């Protein structure tokens, strides 16, 4: 009697593996382009026809394969990239599973043309996993893989293909991700002969972002460079004031490998706390480096996910990295669209060298050294004009004071509380029932910022003490507005209750637009703003400072 268990023929096993690795044309494109990068290609061309249904072709100028290697590459678990399981730790190549080529070849009409020396070459034709023909071929060093009739022998899968434009878009997205992580490599992508992407070799990550999406995006990005313990985060994040509710780009890479990790993107967003308007979504491009043994890259067949040994720590570092990027005054919005604030930014891809965004002289950073700051004057009773070493800054007095108060109040709420003044004549104020309820819920927090509020009778409360954040402070009006905001949940976008309260208080207690300040007050406000952690942003996602670089003035007046 024969047993009931049989080992599946290799071809069937490959088709099953294909189910995981080769989900759709985009996954074929991703695997083939990754192979080209692993082979050291400097230029990679991708062509699709009919959304990849009829044809996917990836050509590279990488190291190529000998005939023997090309035949071996088609066998399952054949890889040149690791030799044993220990090599998986900190693996530096995209591939290591040795599954992609046999899986793709088992569900298509597949052709390899390759040469390892630019003189002799090989062509292999495979149909549904069966080697049909091997022949000599003439070509330069490198490899071209052509995949026709994808899923011709797996009709169920073929049925699941989406409309060609959708598949094309997914494939383009896969190439874009790889183009971001390898700026030094040139990429061209054409679909039905239309060129959808064509980028030459770039010197830095930001140059690549520029080539992919133009200045419009690149100019709004701030460099990230942060390390905590063994975790390093580099890349770019968008200035809070330039984030929009839709169309953001959120990319996370680990060891240069694109990963899908909504939690990491969320951690980055948490770093924006209190600088961004509710509903706005900033673009982020983050490159994480963690020690090889602190991350497992082999947890997903298409390698789209990784597992961190301490995910919460990594999320914490990402959040801090974003916060640190928003902290310097360079984060202030420049005047005009193409004023081109210049930053020193670290290169992508772990190269570590410092490169400059775009051309021009290195920008002189704004130093928060108040001795060199000359408040010029207040204009429109709303803005403070300020000269500093590298240009002119225009500060919105309300936004600035709001940021200062927000940070002060956060410290008071978590520390000893604010100094309060006992009012000589206690205030009596009337509120609506929902407002009275909001007062009740926030009594402790109100006390911490200096408001001692007691119920009196009916809808009336008595205010015994009040804060005094500035000389023009109107204690009654501030409390009324604050309580109305709290009742209406005005800062509902902020997750944390303390942050919500602090933002509301700061907004209402701050110096208002239209209030005249004397030079001493202006000077003090500016000094306190520059000492804040996130000076360039108010708590609504608006800028507090707009920069007019000196070079820009010189350019406009024809002095340079």
Return residues touching ligand ADP (CB under 6 A): 31, 35-36, 39, 60, 62-65, 73, 78-81, 95-101, 143
Kindly give, in sequence order, each residue whose CB lies less than 8 Å from that of residue 118, ignoring residues fewer than 6 positions away.
Answer: 64, 139, 140, 141
| Minimum gap (Å) between residue 178 Cβ and ligand ADP | 13
Q: How far is the CB of 146 from ligand ADP (least distance, A)?
A: 12
Distance CA 109, CA 98 (A): 19
Question: Rounded distance, CA 224 to CA 189, Å?
Answer: 29
Torsion of CA 145, 146, 152, 153, to 10 degrees: -30
Question: Are 532 and 370 a contacting pair, CB within 8 Å?
Answer: no
Residue 21 near which of Mg ion, ligand ADP, none (CB within 5-8 Å, type-dependent): none
Can you tell me the distance from the alpha carbon of 394 to that of 549, in angstroms, rounded to the nearest whole number?
A: 11
In 315-466 the beta strands, taken as DSSP E runs, fall at 333-334, 344-346, 354-356, 374-379, 383-388, 391-396, 421-430, 452-457, 460-466
Q: Which is nearer to ligand ADP, 71 or 524 (CB)?
A: 71
Nearest distance from C-beta of residue 193 to ligand ADP, angstroms: 23
Q: Which of 528, 177, 546 is nearest to 348 (CA)?
A: 177
Question: At closest approach, how far in Å is the CB of 124 from ligand ADP?
Answer: 12
Q: In the numeric block, which tokens belong to residue 82?
A: 């690791």
Partner in contact with 29, chosen from Mg ion, ligand ADP, none, beta carbon below 5 to 8 Å by kind: none
Distance CA 285, CA 445 (A): 37
**Partner interacting with residue 99 (select from Mg ion, ligand ADP, none; CB below 5-8 Å by kind):** ligand ADP
In this complex, which beta carbon is closest to ligand ADP, that of residue 196 or of residue 302? 302
Six-digit token string for 378: 């207040």
In whole angstroms, how far apart are CA 410 and each of 203, 251, 326, 415?
42, 31, 18, 8
Question: What tokens does 305 get?
Answer: 């996910």
In the complex, least distance from residue 12 CB atom to ligand ADP, rounded to whole angstroms: 17
Least Å from the CB of residue 57 to ligand ADP: 12
Q: Which is nearer to ligand ADP, 101 or 295 (by Cβ)?
A: 101
What span, in angstroms and rounded, lies between the C-alpha atoms of 499 and 55? 54
Task: Tokens 């874009």: give the residue.
Answer: 176
Q: Which is nearer to ligand ADP, 39 or 461 (CB)?
A: 39
Query: Residues in the chain, how many?
Result: 560
Is residue 35 near Mg ion by the rule CB under 5 A?
yes
Strands 391-396 and 545-549: antiparallel
> 87 or 437: whose CB is closer to Mg ion?
87
Q: Which is nearer to Mg ion, 177 or 332 (CB)?
A: 177
CB of 254 to Mg ion, least distance (A): 17
Give min distance, CB of 117 to ligand ADP, in A.
13
**C-alpha–C-alpha distance, residues 518 and 148, integer Å:** 75
Pairing of strands 344-346, 354-356: antiparallel
36 binds, options Mg ion, ligand ADP, none, Cβ within 5 to 8 A by partner type: ligand ADP
Which of 82/392 has CB closer to Mg ion?
Answer: 82
Q: C-beta of 17: minimal distance to Mg ion in Å?
A: 12
Shortest CB 531 distance to ligand ADP, Å: 52
Beta carbon of residue 205, minimum distance to ligand ADP (angstroms, whole number): 24
CB 395 within 8 A of CB 402: no
Two structure tokens written together for 21: 């690795």
| Residue closer to Mg ion (CB basis): 65 or 233 | 65
Cβ distance to Mg ion smaller for residue 28 or 510 = 28
Q: Is 100 in the site for Mg ion (CB under 5 A)?
A: yes
What span, in angstroms and rounded, lies between the C-alpha atoms of 32 and 187? Answer: 13
Residue nearest to ligand ADP (CB): 95
Segment near Mg ion (CB under 5 A); pick from 35-43, 175-183, 341-349, 359-367 = 35-43
Nearer to ligand ADP, 141 or 464 (CB): 141
CB 344 within 8 A of CB 364: no
Which residues, including other chains, have CB under 8 Å from residue 502's CB and lie 6 or more apart? Answer: 274, 406, 409, 410, 413, 539
Q: Least distance in Å: CB of 253 to ligand ADP?
A: 18
Site string for Mg ion, 80-99 (x = CB under 5 A): ---------------x----
Cα 233 from Cα 285, distance rounded (Å): 10
**65 binds, options Mg ion, ligand ADP, none, Cβ within 5 to 8 A by partner type:** ligand ADP
Q: Which does 522 bind (CB under 5 to 8 A by kind): Mg ion, ligand ADP, none?
A: none
Contact partner at residue 60 from Mg ion, ligand ADP, none, CB < 5 to 8 Å by partner kind: ligand ADP
Give the distance from CA 4 to its chain's centroid: 52
Comparing CB distances to ligand ADP, the nearer of 98 and 121 is 98
Whole-angstrom Cα Rg for the chain: 30
Residues near Mg ion (CB under 5 A), total:
3
DSSP string, 235-276: EEEE-GGG-BSS---EEEEETTEEE--HHHHHHHHHTTTTSS
Give the residue nearest to Mg ion (CB).
95
Separation of alpha carbons 359 and 346, rounded Å: 15
Residue 146 touching Mg ion (CB under 5 A) = no
> Is the CB of 73 or the CB of 180 nearer to Mg ion?
73
Q: How far is the CB of 59 from ligand ADP (least distance, A)?
A: 9
Residue 62 site contact among Mg ion, ligand ADP, none (CB < 5 to 8 Å, cut-off depends on kind): ligand ADP
Q: Per CB under 5 A, which of residues 435..454 are in contact with Mg ion?
A: none
Which of helix, strand or coil describes residue 120? Answer: coil
Using the minimum distance from each CB to Mg ion, give the nearer residue, 104 or 206.
104
Residue 542 partner contact from ligand ADP, Mg ion, none using kind-dependent CB cut-offs of 5 to 8 Å: none
Give the residues lining the site for Mg ion (CB under 5 A): 35, 95, 100
């Amino acid at each position: 009697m024969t047993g009931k268990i049989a080992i599946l023929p290799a071809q069937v096993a490959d088709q099953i593996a294909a189910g995981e690795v080769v989900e759709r044309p985009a996954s074929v494109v991703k695997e083939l382009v990754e192979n080209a990068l692993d082979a050291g290609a400097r230029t990679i061309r991708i062509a699709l026809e009919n959304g990849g249904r009829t044809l996917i072709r990836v050509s590279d100028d990488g190291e190529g394969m000998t005939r023997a290697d090309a035949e071996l590459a088609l066998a399952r678990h054949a890889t040149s990239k690791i030799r044993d399981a220990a090599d998986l730790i900190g693996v530096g190549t995209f591939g290591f599973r040795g599954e992609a080529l046999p899986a793709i070849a088992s569900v298509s009409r597949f052709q390899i043309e390759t040469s390892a020396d630019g003189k002799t070459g090989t062509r292999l034709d495979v149909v549904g996993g069966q080697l049909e023909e091997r022949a000599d071929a003439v070509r330069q060093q490198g490899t071209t893989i052509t995949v026709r009739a994808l899923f011709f022998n797996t009709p169920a899968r073929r049925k699941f293909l989406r409309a060609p434009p959708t598949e094309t878009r997914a494939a383009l997205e896969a190439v874009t991700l790889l183009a971001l992580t390898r700026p030094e490599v040139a990429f061209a992508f054409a679909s039905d002969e239309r060129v959808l992407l064509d980028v030459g070799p770039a010197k830095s990550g930001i140059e690549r972002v520029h080539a992919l999406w133009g200045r419009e995006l690149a100019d709004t990005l701030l460099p990230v460079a942060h390390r905590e313990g063994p975790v390093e985060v580099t890349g770019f994040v968008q200035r809070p004031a330039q984030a929009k509710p839709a169309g953001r780009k959120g990319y996370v890479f680990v060891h240069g490998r694109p990963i899908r990790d909504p939690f990491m993107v969320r951690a980055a967003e948490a770093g924006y706390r209190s600088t961004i308007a509710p509903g706005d979504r900033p673009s982020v491009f983050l490159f994480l480096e963690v020690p090889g043994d602190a991350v497992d890259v082999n947890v997903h067949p298409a390698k789209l996910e990784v597992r961190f040994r301490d995910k919460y720590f990594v999320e914490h570092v990402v959040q801090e990295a974003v916060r640190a990027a928003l902290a310097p005054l360079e984060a202030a919005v420049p005047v005009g669209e193409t004023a081109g604030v210049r930053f020193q930014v670290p290169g992508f891809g772990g190269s570590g060298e410092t490169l400059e965004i775009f051309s021009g002289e290195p920008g002189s950073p704004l130093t928060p050294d108040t001795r060199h700051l000359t408040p010029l004057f207040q204009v429109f009773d709303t803005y403070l004009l300020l000269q500093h070493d590298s240009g002119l800054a225009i500060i919105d007095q309300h936004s600035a004071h709001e940021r200062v108060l927000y940070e002060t109040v956060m410290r008071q709420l978590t520390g000893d509380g604010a100094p309060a003044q006992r009012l000589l004549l206690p205030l009596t104020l009337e509120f609506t029932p929902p407002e009275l309820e909001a007062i009740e819920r926030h009594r402790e927090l109100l006390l911490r910022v200096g408001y001692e509020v007691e119920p009196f009778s009916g809808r009336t409360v008595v205010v015994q003490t009040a804060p005094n954040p500035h000389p023009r402070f109107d204690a009654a009006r501030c409390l009324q507005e604050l309580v109305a905001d709290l009742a209406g949940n005005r800062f509902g976008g902020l997750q944390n209750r303390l942050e919500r309260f602090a933002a509301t208080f700061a907004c209402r207690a701050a110096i208002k637009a239209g209030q005249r300040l004397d030079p001493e007050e202006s000077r003090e406000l500016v000094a306190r703003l520059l000492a804040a952690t996130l000076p360039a942003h108010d708590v609504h996602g608006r800028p507090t400072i707009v920069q007019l670089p000196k070079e820009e003035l010189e350019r406009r007046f024809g002095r340079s």
